[in-house]
Amino acid sequence: MELRMLWPLELLSRRRLSILQAQKSQTHVAPGSYFRAMVAGETSRLIESFRGEPELHHPIRGRIKGITAFTRFIQEMGDWLREKNYSVDILNLIVTGPRSVEEVVLTLDGPSGAIDMPIAIVSDRTPDGQVLEMRMYFSTWPLTGSHSLRPPLLQPDPDVKETGFVGDYQRALASGDITAVVASFDNGGYFREPSGGTHIHRGAHELASLYEHFFSNGGGIRLEQCASTDDGRACAVEYNVVGWGRTTMSPQAGIAIYVRGASGKIAAARIYDDVDAPIPSKQD
């Protein structure tokens, strides 16, 4: 197993570095080590990271609550990760008082070579860092070549409203305004699709082409905002997708993570959901 840190140094403030160092000595599991603990069979350590009963919401397994169910899940996941000869890259971490949001990329053995699987892990926490509830987000597309409908995990919160360029982006996304979407990105900013890998679109030309395709069903993408985790450098928004162009959809859970550049515009937008968009594939 290999564990790597992929944070660009220029994006790490002294405060963030001190947070990461402090996490290593706290009782809860440090960034990137959930998967390592699963493989090592450190079930007790994972259970003790929770305040009370463990509770995890998983895209495939659903709601996992209680010591017995959580222990079984950890054992099965550990076996699966060992079988897939996994490695994990730590991409990003957002920490606020009540919540942390971690981004990793798992690399797994697949039938035709290595598979990259982007994952976001949200942990609601107590003031001393223990976990109250975890929510995991990823697309099943890299594993199965298909999508799996993910019912809502959270209810919409009308008080969740992003400001600045992230707010500009979300309004443009809802209205289907390609020009405004592109304008909310920094020079060289990129959008990564939930399936990860090569599905990255960078710069104004690629972004405009992508969103022209996204909006080809007669309009923008409608989201219910549910929770926001923002440390000033990056912002994570948990949402439910409820509409795509002219198509009304059953609410489906996801999370978007926006990393701000020096200008305040979006330097990176990374999406974690499993929505089967009502538009033709780019290959069609």
Ordered per-residue pLDDT tens for the chain, 284 residues: 444 444 443 334 444 445 444 443 443 445 567 888 999 999 999 999 999 999 999 999 999 999 999 999 999 999 999 999 999 999 999 999 899 999 999 999 998 899 999 999 999 999 988 999 999 999 999 999 999 999 999 999 999 999 999 999 999 999 999 999 999 999 999 999 999 989 999 999 999 999 999 999 999 999 999 999 999 999 999 999 999 999 999 999 999 999 999 999 999 999 999 999 999 876 53
* Bridging pattern class, strands 234-244 and 131-137: unpaired
Q: Where are the domains of the chain?
A: 3-138, 164-273
- CATH (residue range 164-273): 3.10.450.50
Q: How is domain 3-138 classified at the CATH fold level?
A: Nuclear Transport Factor 2; Chain: A, (3.10.450)
pTM, 2 dp = 0.89
**Helix boundaries (H) for the chain:** 14-25, 33-40, 43-48, 67-83, 141-144, 164-175, 178-183, 203-214
Tell me, what amino acid is at 103?
A: E
How many residues are present in the chain? Answer: 284
- The pLDDT of residue 282: 66
> Is-contact 109 24, C-beta < 8 A?
no
Report which secondary-structure segment, H or E, holds 57: strand 55-58
- The pLDDT of residue 75: 96
What are the backbone dihedrals phi and psi of residue 197, each rounded to the nearest 5 degrees, phi first? Answer: 60, -125
- The pLDDT of residue 32: 67
- The pLDDT of residue 280: 86
> Is-contact 166 266, C-beta < 8 A?
yes
**What are 181-233's pLDDT values in tens digits?**
999 999 999 999 999 989 999 999 999 999 999 999 999 999 999 999 999 99
> Is-contact 149 250, C-beta < 8 A?
yes
Asked if domains 3-138 and 164-273 share a fold, the reply is yes
- The pLDDT of residue 30: 59
